[in-house]
Amino acid sequence: MVYPNPRTEKRRVVCILLIIVTTIPLVGAILLDIYNSWNRGDIVNIIRHSTVVGPFAGGILKMFLMYYKRHSGQYIIEEIDSDYSHYNSLPETYRRIIDKSLENSLFYSEKCWALTVTVCVMVFPLMAATQTTYNCLFSSEPIKYMVHDLIVPFVEPNQRFESPIFEVVFAYMMYASLLYVIYFIGYDGFFGLCINHACLKMELYCRALVEAMKEDADIAMHERIVRVVQEQIKLKRFVELIQDTFNFWLGLILVATMIQIGTCMYLISESLETATQIYCAGWESVSSNKIRKFLVFMIARAQIPLEITAFNLLIFDMNLFVRILNSSYSMYTLLRS
């Protein structure tokens, strides 16, 4: 659904439409549950659903974007093919650089990225299946776990855990999980390969400049420097192709990241406000000292903010938000320099 092969354009259109038709019930059910959660003020459930349906809808958008940008994507592949055809005739010093770049592409962009996406996505259905199986085998009152707990429309809430509704919904969620894997391995993996090839082109013409400076004759040196300049120009066009192909998605990633950080900060700020709400609960009209002592402990506990961490190290708070902005700008100025 991502690879811009002109011979598969019609098949890709059919498959994309088929995926949209088969996933409309899932997306519609999640959006309906988000709407109902909004009406009852259940912000936590809205956030839980949004973190699932957002990337899933983004995956469908990736297929549309890659189809819309199929010509620029095809130009990228054609230039990579042309470059590697030319690289076969380069000296051994260049070949070592190229071989190292190929190893990095195969290891990081294909193996590591594919494994990371697959593990991160499939851990949810595997955990649900394991917990359900364990409860059915060893528990007197077994509890069933969904891949993503969702209120099934037109069905009583508790009936979603009964057969055959549970099995059908579980299989449907597994299908959606596999689509997740396809979305992120194909599109983002292709982006990583493009960036790695651009870095290879830069490294090669820098090496060519070093070789040019070793020439004794000015004419030969001039000719080799001209070829380096031509490679610089080709690199600029190649990066423009990457920009044209992926710029919209990169902007969406930025927005999605900001939303995720914002939702974490919202939860933390809400936890701090509970201390004030507990204090204003009307304790002054209660004469029991035992009840009042309970409230003191509750307020003290509520005054300690909840923490959401990444890798159990980075705390999502305003300081992290500021550090992300500072680090991004520092990286930008470093690249610009």
Q: What is the DSSP string of 162-219?
A: STTHHHHHHHHHHHHHHHHHHHHHHHHHHHHHHHHHHHHHHHHHHHHHHHHTT-SSHH
In a domain? residue 39: yes
Residue 131 in domain:
yes
Question: What is residue 18's predicted lDDT score, i.e. its pLDDT?
Answer: 92
Statement: the pTM of the whole predicted model exceeds 0.75: no
- Identify the pLDDT of residue 262: 72
The chain-wide mean pLDDT, for the chain, equals: 83
| Tokens at 39, concatenated | 């009406």
Residue 331 lies in a domain: no
| Residue numbers of the domain that contains 248 | 6-306
Q: Does a structural domain hold residue 228?
A: yes
**pLDDT for 21:** 92
Secondary element (H or E) of residue 23: helix 9-39
314 domain-assigned: no
> Residue 173 class from Cβ within 10 Å (0-12 exposed, 13-18 middle, 19+ buried)?
buried
User: How many structural domains is the chain composed of?
Assistant: 1
Q: How many CA atoms lie less than 13 Å away from 299 in the CB half-sphere?
A: 13
What span, in angstroms and rounded, lies between the C-alpha atoms of 15 and 9?
10
Residue-wise pLDDT for 39-52, tens only, equals 888 877 888 888 88
Strand partners, 315: 309
Listed as ranges, residues in the chain with pLDDT below 70 are: 264-265, 305-318, 321, 328, 331-337
Cα torsion angle, 222, 225, 229, 230, sign: positive
Task: Please say whether the dihedral angle defined by the alpha carbons of residues 20, 119, 252 and 109, taken in this order, is positive or negative.
Answer: negative
DSSP codes, 85-135: HHHTTS-HHHHHHHHHHHHHIIIIIIIIHHHHHHHHHHHHHHHHHHHHHHH
Q: Which residues contact 154 (CB under 8 A, 6 or more apart)?
A: none
C-alpha to C-alpha distance for 233 and 226, rounded to whole angstroms: 11
Q: What does DSSP assign to residue 216?
A: S
> Is the distance from CB of 123 to CB of 171 less than 8 angstroms?
no
- Domain membership flag for residue 327: no
Both tokens of residue 141? Answer: 């009152």
- Residue-level pLDDT at 310: 61
Residue 336 counted as domain residue: no
Is residue 71 a part of any domain in this protein? Answer: yes
